[in-house]
A = this chain, B = another copy of it.
Amino acid sequence: MSDASLLEASYDYSDPRDARRAIRTGAMKGNTAGIAPGYTQGNLAILPADLALDFMRYCQRNPKPCPLIGVSETGDPALPGLGRDIDIRTDIPSYNVYRNGELDETVTDIRHLWRDDFVAFILGCSYSFEQALVSEGVPLRHLDEDLTVSMYRTSLETSPAGAFSGGMVVSMRPMTAARAIRAVEVTARFPHTHGTPVHLGDPAQIGISDIDSPDWGDATRIEDGEIPVFWACGVTPQNAIRMARPEICITHKPGCMLISDVPSAYDARLD
Contacts and interface: CB of A to CB of B under 8 A. Distances in A.
Contact of A61 (B63, B64, B81, B195): B81
The CB with the most chain B CB atoms within 10 A, among A57, A161, A162, is that of A57
A81 B161 CA distance: 12
Contact of A53 (B52, B68, B195, B268): B52
Interface string A251-271: 000000000000000001011
A60 interface: yes
Interchain residue pairs A-B with the least CB separation, the first 9 = A56-B56, A53-B53, A57-B71, A191-B271, A52-B53, A60-B71, A60-B68, A63-B271, A61-B81
Interface in A40-88: 49, 52-53, 56-57, 60-61, 63-64, 68, 70-71, 73-74, 81
Given A271-B191, A271-B195, A73 B57 contact: yes
A159 interface: yes
Nearest to A50: B53
Interface in A110-154: 119
Contacts of A191: 191, 271
Contacts of A161: 73
Interface residues of A, number: 26
A125 to B, nearest CB: 17
Interface of A is mostly: mixed
A218 to B, nearest CB: 30
A188 B195 CA distance: 14
A227 to B, nearest CB: 21
Contacts of A49: 53
Given A52-B53, A60-B71, A191-B271, 9 more contacts: A53-B53, A53-B56, A53-B119, A56-B57, A57-B71, A61-B81, A64-B271, A195-B271, A196-B268
Contacts of A270: 63
A79 to B, nearest CB: 11
28 contacts: A49-B53, A52-B53, A53-B53, A53-B56, A53-B74, A53-B119, A56-B56, A56-B57, A56-B60, A56-B71, A57-B71, A57-B73, A60-B68, A60-B70, A60-B71, A61-B71, A61-B81, A63-B270, A63-B271, A64-B271, A73-B161, A73-B162, A81-B159, A188-B268, A191-B191, A191-B271, A195-B271, A196-B268
The CB with the most chain B CB atoms within 10 A, among A56, A119, A188, is that of A56
Contacts of A52: 53
A119 to B, nearest CB: 8
